Amino acid sequence: MDDKKYLKWYNKVGYGAGDVGGNVVYAFIAFFVMIYLTDTMGMNPGIVGTLIMVARIFDGVSDLFFGALIDRTNTKMGKARPWMFYAYFGCALMIVAIFAIPADLGDFSKYAWFFITYVLLNSVFYTANNISYSTLTALITKNPEERVQMGSLRFIFAFGTSLVIQVSTVGLVQAFGGDAAAWRNVAILYAVIGLVVNTISVFSVRELPAEVLYEKVGEDAEEEQEAIDEGAPPLLESFKLLFSNKYYLLVVAVFMMGQLFTAMMGTGIYFMTYVLGDASYFSTFAWAINVPLILGLVVTPFIVKRVGMIYPVNFVGYVIAFVGRALVIVAAGMGNIPLMLAFSALASFGMSPLQGTLNALIAEASQNTYLTHNKRIDGMMFSATSLGVKIGGGGGVALSGWLLAAGGYVGGAAVQPATAINMLNFMYLWLPVIIAALIAFLLWWLRVEQANNKLRQELAENEK
């Protein structure tokens, strides 16, 4: 356990602000790309869902590839910061391109335009930016308490940005004219904001030198750095180390389920419009969901410090989240919207500790590999963030498209068939409950802190 402080308050805030850039991309895609494609561009949700799912194949390879590249990078800016900085220029360009499909293109060309830009965004630019951003958690501090604080600040910015995107986008699109050009202009606005904030975040922190990071001095630290820079452990060995770490696999699964949950929440724009009968409820529910998340993230570092461990805080939190989402179903059956809002808020508060501690858990998983094999694969380990976000989030958007198509959804129609209404109820009410239960089950087994403490004790005893 390292109790030394490595960061000032402005380093933590600067780091956390980096998720503004990530979420003007991610939240905009997660909550609005499907309705833009179906209702503005007239594209079939089932085909869109299939294209997104195919894109996941490219994503799975690129996540691990960029993780390995980061492990082998050594520049004056560090290992992760240059990737975070330069990759965002591509993110900004691609988010605009996705929402700038020419309206006069033929159907095939529209699908091709979307697929190419979506793959470039997710498989290349967002991957490089997001993995490097997450990897910084392990490279700028070794203090577990600071890592939890960084994670909480990061997701305060993330959910704050997501809230702004959710409550502002529909109004901004209408203000710009409500047509295809309006979506493009909103995308440009978000891209510029993301680019500015990402740049500030990159230059607000510095990575630790090798002698501090690897707990070695002089030639030993240089040899450790050179070994990693020259490709040791080799790529194949890195993959073996990665997939032999059960905690990494559990974190990836948790990330995937969490992003799938978010994608189902993204179908709220359809649920509010066609089930509750008023699209403006989407903003109301966004407040009820995101504000408790942010408040929970504020108190998470204090709760974890008081409890002394991440594991019980996360597990109990998701039990609360499961109960809250189950009660949302009950309230919806009663037709009581205030109760739906209240139980949505309860569920979100229960979810918040996990959001604030995920990066710290990945750092612990990476440390587990170091303690057991004396090898560092931080970049590949933090591919869990991007891999989980894209498989879970992208898969969730794809699933949304398939389910909408299966339910007989008619894009732009004033009234939807009963089958579509039933499907929207299943997607927005029932699927989140199922996903929350699965996450709680996974968290029950994610006891990496206990495993690392045991390994440290064994190593200390062996050195005596």
Domain ranges of the chain: 9-459
Nearest to 40 by CA among 210, 228, 237, 174: 174
pLDDT 10s digits, 232-257: 456 677 778 888 889 888 988 898 89
Q: Which residues of the chain have pLDDT under 50?
A: 1, 217-219, 221, 230-232
pLDDT, position 195:
96
pLDDT, position 143:
82
pLDDT 10s digits, 420-462: 999 999 999 999 999 999 999 999 998 988 888 888 888 777 7
Q: Tokens 């030639």: give the residue.
A: 219
Burial (CB count <10 Å: 0-12, 13-18, 19+), residue 310: buried
pLDDT 10s digits, 395-421: 777 888 899 999 998 877 788 899 999
Say if residues 417 and 408 touch (Cβ distance below 8 Å). Answer: yes
pLDDT, position 185:
96
pLDDT, position 388:
67
Say if residues 432 and 325 touch (Cβ distance below 8 Å). Answer: yes
Nearest to 247 by CA among 455, 102, 97, 427: 455
Could you please state the CATH topology (level 3) that the domain comprising 9-459 is classified under.
Growth Hormone; Chain: A; (1.20.1250)
pLDDT, position 453:
87
Ramachandran quadrant class, 272 (left: phi over 0; alpha: psi -120 to 50; beta: rest): alpha
Say if residues 321 and 436 touch (Cβ distance below 8 Å). Answer: yes
CB proximity list for 105: less than 8 A, separation 6 or greater: 113
